[in-house]
Amino acid sequence: MTMRESDLDRVKALPLFSKTSPEVFRDVTGGAFLQRFPAGTTLMMEGDTVDFLYVLLDGMVELQGSWKEKETTLALLRPVSTFILAAVVLDADALMSARTLERSEILMLSGEALRRVMRQDADFSFAVAQELSGCYRGLVRAVKNQKLRGGVERLANYLVTQRIRQDLIETIVLPHEKRVLASLLGMTPENLSRAFASLAKYGVVVRGGEVTLNRPDALERLARPSPLIDNHMPPADGVVGKAESERWSSATGRSCGYVSS
Partner DNA sequence: CGCGTTGTTGAAGAGCTTCAAATCTGGTGG
Partner DNA sequence: CCACCAGATTTGAAGCTCTTCAACAACGCG
Footprint of DNA on this chain (CB under 7 A)?
Answer: 150-152, 177-179, 186-197, 206, 208
From DNA, a copy of itself, none, interface partner of 177 (C-beta below 5 to 8 A by class): DNA
Whether the Cβ atoms of residue 249 and residue 78 lie closer than 8 Å to each other: no
DSSP letter string over 18-52? Answer: HTS-HHHHHHHHTT-EEEEE-TT-EEE-TT-B--E
Which is closer to a copy of itself, CB of 92 or CB of 169? Answer: 92
From DNA, a copy of itself, none, interface partner of 134 (C-beta below 5 to 8 A by class): a copy of itself
Binding flag, residue 122, a copy of itself (CB under 8 A): yes
Which value, in Å, is the radius of gyration of the alpha carbons in the chain?
Answer: 19
Among candidate residues 75, 214, 231, the one with its CA nearest the CA of residue 158 = 231
For the window 92-111, what string marks contact with a copy of itself as x by the rule CB under 8 A? xx-xx---------------
Region for 250 from its dihedrals, namely left if φ exceeds 0, alpha if ψ lies in -120 to 50, beta otherwise: alpha
**Crossing angle, helix 22-29 and helix 111-120, to 10 degrees?**
150
Binders of a copy of itself among 53-72, rule CB under 8 A? 65-68, 70, 72
Instruction: Please state, in angstroms and rounded to a whole number, the distance separating the CA atoms of residues 181 and 5.
Output: 34
Of the candidate spans 14-22, 161-169, 232-240, 241-249, the one that interacts with a copy of itself by CB under 8 A turns out to be: 241-249
Shortest Å distance, C-beta 225 to DNA: 17
Whether the Cβ atoms of residue 33 and residue 54 lie closer than 8 Å to each other: no
| Site residues for a copy of itself per CB under 8 A | 46-47, 65-68, 70, 72, 74, 85-87, 89-93, 95-96, 115, 118-123, 125-126, 128-130, 132-137, 139-144, 146-149, 186, 224, 226-229, 243-247, 250, 256
